[in-house]
Amino acid sequence: MDTGSLGKRYGDGEVIVREGEIGDRMFFIRSGHAKVTRVIGGNEVHIADLKEGDIFGEMAIFEREKRSATVRASGEAVILSIDKTGFLRRMHEDPSLVFRVLQQMSERIRRLDTELATLKSSM
């Protein structure tokens, strides 16, 4: 039933967002997985993995900065994009709409805290 698929289909390794680009939307993973990488000292470093139901690309919308990382599909992935203007308008009308975005950001901060603590303790 491919006719019923919403969003855009990305093949394995296909770039969804590229580090350094201007961001005008965020993304919701409808199915599949994605890999987040960042170029540090000329090397591409794997930062995180994303899964179905995850939202990404929100930092470029909230901070008006360039994309901080590259996100590629890991295997086939279906991604729904969420427009910046529409999202901001709807968020101002109904702030509870960002509850899940905040929840996911909070989970990421908690994970980063744990990783930072592990790194510091091993130094």
Q: Which residues bind other proteins (CB under 8 A)?
A: 1-8, 28, 30, 53, 55, 80-83, 86-87, 90, 93-94, 96-101
Q: Least distance (Å) from other proteins to the CB of residue 15?
A: 15
DSSP 8-state secondary structure symbol assigned to residue 35: E
50 pairs with which residues across the strands? 34
Tally of CA atoms within 13 A in the half-sphere of 118 that contains its CB: 6
Q: Can you tell me the distance from the alpha carbon of 113 to that of 117, in angstroms, rounded to the nearest whole number?
A: 6
Q: Least distance (Å) from other proteins to the CB of residue 56?
A: 12
Q: Least distance (Å) from other proteins to the CB of residue 89?
A: 8
**For residues 40 and 93, which CB has a smaller minimum distance to other proteins in the complex?**
93
**For residues 1 and 119, which CB has a smaller minimum distance to other proteins in the complex?**
1
Q: Can you tell me the distance from the alpha carbon of 77 to that of 75, in angstroms, rounded to the nearest whole number?
A: 6
- Integer-rounded Cα Rg, in Å, for the chain is 15
**For residues 31 and 68, which CB has a smaller minimum distance to other proteins in the complex?**
31
